Every structure is written in structure tokens, then in C-alpha cells.
Chain A
Amino acid sequence: MTPTLGAAGDVVLSVAHVAVRFGGLVALSDLNFKVFDGEIVGLIGPNGAGKTTAFNVFTGFLQPAAGEVRYRNTLLNGLKPHDIAALGLVRTFQRTSIFACNTVFENVLIGLHRRGRSRLWDTLLALPREKVAEAELANAAREILRVVGLEGRAQDTAGTLPYGEQRLLGMALALAAKPSMLLLDEPVSGMNASESAKVMRLVQTIRASGVTILLVEHDMPMVMQVSDRIVVLNYGRIIAEGSPAVIQKDPDVIRAYLGEGKKRA
């Protein structure tokens, strides 16, 4: 049913008949789509189309009024955000989202929470186990900072980083949570061209490591270049779905973005 382009694998995320209403406003109505293992799927649409609302539903920050979301066959409805993160479905945020008062290194350590295994007694009694666990976390943190290219900033206070690096740190935090699927909410918004290129390379590196990616983004060149498949939302419903080449020519999509113009003779 759903066209699978560039990726063949099991269904990772399946969204069926999801609806969200804020009072009388319909934010999402009857949303249906699937993401397959190893894909990069772009979720696009004009402002207010419901992209971030969809992310909030998938990650447990919002409960849908109807429909169901499944992640690797686990029903996500009713689960709390931290439970969903524990399943391996991790998101980033549209606005800069970091622990601004802590150092970059501490930020990643916080993100590594799920990978830690020390218990209260280990900590209070400073058992050797605790030291080993902390050393492992520190190594993992250094590795993640190397992947995103922030190793030189490890000891800087996160809030003092330039904007682009703060966004990268946000991705590092999400990566630290060991996702098997990553939801990126406008990862390159407000970035300059070289910063965007860096993020695009990073997204591809992440996918190469076996992580499935769902991406919300306004930067069309980036979406078209990086995505295997694109889903277009408008007014809370899907208006088109397919490969970047198909989407670029879809009349509904062009109308949604540019409005209905007079046809030129």
C-alpha cells in the first residue's frame, strides 16, 4: 500500500487514523503513514500544518483524541515521554533545547541517563561498580561529542555556545539516549549554509549507523536531498506522499505551498 522507496524493511513507526483536536481546532485528522527500518522520511508542510503536533503525539507529549501510534509493534498511546524514549524513539525540539547552565560534556552525560546502570546504593557507598559505570558513561559522552563535532567544546557552558552548535548539542543529547529511531524537528532552521551542510552530513552518518530518521524541516533543498521519502501535511491531513522527485511535481503540494495562481498562457 504505502510506497517504499529506497528502503525495504520492517515497519518501525506506524501511525493509524490519528486525530488531535485543541478545543474546536482540528490539528490533525485521520493521519495515516508508516516509516520503515533504515529510512529517512521527510515530513513537510506549510506552517501550522500539524508537523510538530504529530511529533508531540508520537513521543507522548500529547495524547491523540483518536487513532493509534505503534513503535516496533508496541502501542504508544498512553505511554509517558520517558517510556517512549526508553523504547528507542527519541526526538529533538524545534526551539533550542539544551541544559544551558551545564557544560557541553555534562549535557551529554545527562542524555546518557538510560545507558547508566548505577543504583542508589552504588552511588552513596561509592562502590567500585559506580566508578566503572561513570567511566563508561564519560567514554560514551566523548564518543558522541566526536561524532557531532563538538569535542573541542566539551568544557564550555552550553548556554554560551553559538546557535548552530547549540542545535548540534541538542542532537548530541538525543543521540546519547541511544535511539533506534530519531525524530528531528527542524534541525537546520536558522542555520547558515555551512552549518546546514554539516547537519546534513551528520544526519546521513546517523542513518548509516542504523538509526531510522523522521525529519520535519522547512529547508526544502535539505529535505529533498536527504530524504528517501516525503510525507506532506496540510491542515492536519496528508496531501501527498512519495519520493522527493514525485513530491516536487505534485500539484497539490505546489498549491499548498504557493497557493492557487492564475495559469499562465
Chain B
Amino acid sequence: MKRALPAIWLVVLLTIPLWLQDQYILHVLITTGIFIIAAMSLNLLLGYTGQLSLGHVAFFGIGAYTSALTTLGFDIELFGFRVVHQPWPAIAGLFVGMLVAGLSGYVIGRLSFKVRGAYFVIVTISFAEVTRLVALNWVELTQGPLALTNIPPYTLGFPGLGNYTLWNKAAYYYLVLALGLVAYVVISRLVGSRIGRAMIALKENETLATSVGIDVTRYLVLAAVLSAAMAGGAGSLYAHYLKIIDPDIFLFIYTVMMVIMVITGGKGTLAGPIVGGVIFGFLPVILRPFAAPAVQWILYGALMIVIVFMLPQGIIPALQHAIANWSGPTRDRSGALLAGSAKPGEGQ
């Protein structure tokens, strides 16, 4: 039963575009999926190495802008030199976006070696704000508040089948699902491995981790790079799906959204960001018929407070705990039964 569950989920997820008629719901599924990938990447840093990055949206935005600019091309003047970039295929943008986001993750990771805790949080917030200001003011490159528009969709080349451009929503849904699965598998393999154990050790007790020979900086930087590259990939998906991005993509509220998804779902669990992402991705859809936007935000905040207050560890750990408690007594009972049957034997 436990093995069948992921397969059932996969079948449900794979067939959604076939039976779902409402294009708006499909759109919400796609954007939610993109934000779940971003939340999963944040979870790698926050949930497993214990570093709270409140500038995570910077990596998402860097991925989005880099991918869009790689695809659209640019012609700018930099330090007196003219830099011209001819448009590349959109799918190359995805990889360049991940690469550049990963590099900025490296810089932030190295910085975090010097500053931890609250200072790291401040560094990351500042970093996100700087990237937003650059996107807003470097008009020649980013069009500033006018936004980058007409970002083309991805074109996937299948050997022997020709090229396929992702024009419709269903195709994007499958792409997001596929990349989401890749991200999930990458994170699950990582955290179950020697590398993941080093990260968890660093979160729980840094001094002890170094005393057994774990190079803390190395694993922190590794986590930051992987997390940033993943967030950059999600940003690229976002840019090419919406076909337009503006500097508002770097707003603090998006980071908060990712953090909320991770914390409500359960940080440091594989399914946490997915559960949290689905809840907060679909909440506006569910509330829309009943409540005005302002009321929606109030309910949104109230729900978050309730969840964090009632289940401080998050939904997934609370569920695991409940299941353990529920199956625990039966195990004890069988144990007691065994002990009971052993006693007469002892007497003889």
C-alpha cells in the first residue's frame, strides 16, 4: 500500500490535463507547481542545513531575468564597451538561468561562512533588494519597470520527432511536473546520502559536525548552490510561461510565500513544501467566490497563524507523529502479548 501510493499520485498528476476542463485551474496548477519547485529549493537550505534565506526570491528572479535575456538577446554598453548578445533558444535560457542563479548562490554561500543566523538573514534580504533595484534601474538591459515582454515559450527538440514548442497550458503543465519530479528526486537522493547527513549535522550541531571532520563551509556552499540553481530553474519556467517579467518578481512577498509554504508543510521533510505549496497556491482560488481580495489576504494570514500555532513543526511532521501514535499502541499490544505468552514457559 505504501509503495502504491506514489504511483497513484503520479497517475492522478499525469492525467489532470486530460479531464480538467477549467483552463484557469490548470493555470493555477502551473504557477503553483513553479512555486512548489522554488519552495522545495528553499527547503533544501532552510529545512536541511538550517539557514534561513529571506532573499530566496533573488535566485528565482535572477533565473527568470537571465533566462529571458538569454532568449531575447540584448545590446548594452558596459564600462565603455558595447556588449551584444544574439537571441538563443528558450531552452538554453533555462540552463543559463540555472547556472547564473547557482553562481550567485555560491557567492551568498561563501558569505554565510562568515555570517550566520540573523546576520545571514539580513545579508540575504539585502541581496534580494539589490537585485530588485538593479532590475528596476538598469533600464538598458532589463527595460526597468516597463518589463521584459514577448519572452518566447520553450521549444523542445525530440530526436527523430522534430521540435515541439510549448504553446498551450497542458504542455507547460507537463514540463513543470517533469522538472518538479526531477527536483524532488534530486533532493530526496541528496538528503538520504552522506552529503545530506553532513547538511543535517550542520543544522543540528555545527560544533559537533566539525569535530567529526565535516567541512561545514563546503556543504553549506553546496546546498546554497544547488538550492539557488533550482530556484533559478523555477524562475525561468515562470518567465517563459507568463511571457513577461518585471522587477516586482523580486518583491519580498514572494520570498515570504516560499517560506510560508515550507514552514506550514514542514521544513526538513520532502513532502512539506508540496503540501504547503498546494494549500497556499489554491487558497486564493477557493476563497475567490466568497471573499474580496482584501478579505482573502486576511484569511490567508489567519490560516498561516493557525497552522503555525497548532502545528509548529508543520503539517507533515504532525501527520507522521499522529500515524506513529496511532500505530504505536498496536505494536505495544503485540509486544505485551508476546511477553505474556513467554511467562508460562519461564515458570516451567
Interface size on A, residues (CB 8 A): 36
A123 near B195: Cβ-Cβ < 8 Å:
yes
Of A40-48, A84-92, A196-204, A241-249, the one with at least 4 CB within 8 A of chain B = A84-92
Closest residue of chain B to A133 (Cβ to Cβ) is: B194
Residues of chain B contacted by A118 (CB below 8 angstroms): 193-195
Q: Cβ of A134 < 8 Å from any Cβ of B?
A: yes
In the docked arrangement, what's the CA distance between A124 and B226, Å?
12
Query: Do A99 and B211 contact each other (CB < 8 Å), given the known contacts A113-B194, A123-B189, A123-B193?
Result: no
Q: Cβ of B75 < 8 Å from any Cβ of A?
A: no
B212 near A110: Cβ-Cβ < 8 Å:
yes
Shortest B184–chain A CB gap in Å is 12
In the docked arrangement, what's the CA distance between A118 and B195, Å?
9
Shortest A118–chain B CB gap in Å is 6
Closest residue of chain A to B196 (Cβ to Cβ) is: A123
In the docked arrangement, what's the CA distance between A179 and B114, Å?
28
Query: Do A93 and B194 contact each other (CB < 8 Å), given the known contacts A86-B213, A99-B200, A124-B186?
Result: no
A110 near B200: Cβ-Cβ < 8 Å:
yes
A123 near B194: Cβ-Cβ < 8 Å:
yes
| Residue of B189, B212, B222 most packed against chain A (CB within 10 A) | B212
In the docked arrangement, what's the CA distance between A124 and B184, Å?
11
Query: Do A99 and B212 contact each other (CB < 8 Å), given the known contacts A123-B190, A123-B194, A126-B189?
Result: no
Q: Cβ of A232 < 8 Å from any Cβ of B?
A: no
Q: Cβ of A120 < 8 Å from any Cβ of B?
A: yes
| Residue of B190, B204, B216 most packed against chain A (CB within 10 A) | B204
Q: Cβ of A228 < 8 Å from any Cβ of B?
A: no
Residues of chain A contacted by B214 (CB below 8 angstroms): 82, 110, 113
Residues of chain A contacted by B211 (CB below 8 angstroms): 59, 81, 85, 90-91, 93, 97, 174, 177
In the docked arrangement, what's the CA distance between A61 and B214, Å?
14
Q: Cβ of A173 < 8 Å from any Cβ of B?
A: yes
Interface size on B, residues (CB 8 A): 23
Of A2-10, A30-38, A100-108, A208-216, the one with at least 4 CB within 8 A of chain B = A100-108
Query: Do A110 and B213 contact each other (CB < 8 Å), given the known contacts A99-B204, A99-B205, A100-B204?
Result: no
A134 near B193: Cβ-Cβ < 8 Å:
yes
Residues of chain B contacted by A98 (CB below 8 angstroms): 205, 208
Residues of chain A contacted by B204 (CB below 8 angstroms): 99-102
Q: Cβ of A80 < 8 Å from any Cβ of B?
A: yes
Residues of chain B contacted by A137 (CB below 8 angstroms): 194
Residues of chain A contacted by B216 (CB below 8 angstroms): 82
In the docked arrangement, what's the CA distance between A93 and B195, Å?
24
A116 near B207: Cβ-Cβ < 8 Å:
no
Shortest A187–chain B CB gap in Å is 15
Q: Cβ of B257 < 8 Å from any Cβ of A?
A: no
Shortest A152–chain B CB gap in Å is 15
B208 near A102: Cβ-Cβ < 8 Å:
no
B210 near A82: Cβ-Cβ < 8 Å:
yes
Shortest B105–chain A CB gap in Å is 15
B222 near A110: Cβ-Cβ < 8 Å:
no
B200 near A120: Cβ-Cβ < 8 Å:
no
The answer, among B195, B200, B207, B212, for a CB contact under 8 Å with A174, is B212
In the docked arrangement, what's the CA distance between A124 and B216, Å?
20
Between-chain CB contacts (< 8 Å), 27 pairs: A61-B207, A80-B210, A81-B210, A82-B210, A82-B215, A85-B212, A91-B211, A93-B208, A97-B205, A97-B211, A99-B200, A99-B201, A99-B204, A100-B205, A106-B197, A110-B197, A110-B198, A113-B197, A120-B195, A123-B190, A124-B190, A130-B193, A173-B208, A173-B212, A174-B212, A177-B212, A177-B213
Residues on A close to B: CB < 8 A? Answer: 59, 61, 80-82, 85-86, 90-91, 93, 97-102, 106, 109-111, 113-114, 116, 118, 120, 123-124, 126, 130, 133-134, 137, 173-174, 176-177
Residues on B close to A: CB < 8 A? Answer: 186, 189-190, 193-195, 197-198, 200-201, 204-205, 207-216, 222
Known: A120-B195, A123-B193, A177-B211. 14 other contacts (CB 8 A): A81-B211, A85-B211, A90-B212, A90-B213, A91-B211, A93-B211, A98-B205, A100-B205, A101-B204, A110-B212, A110-B214, A123-B194, A173-B212, A174-B212
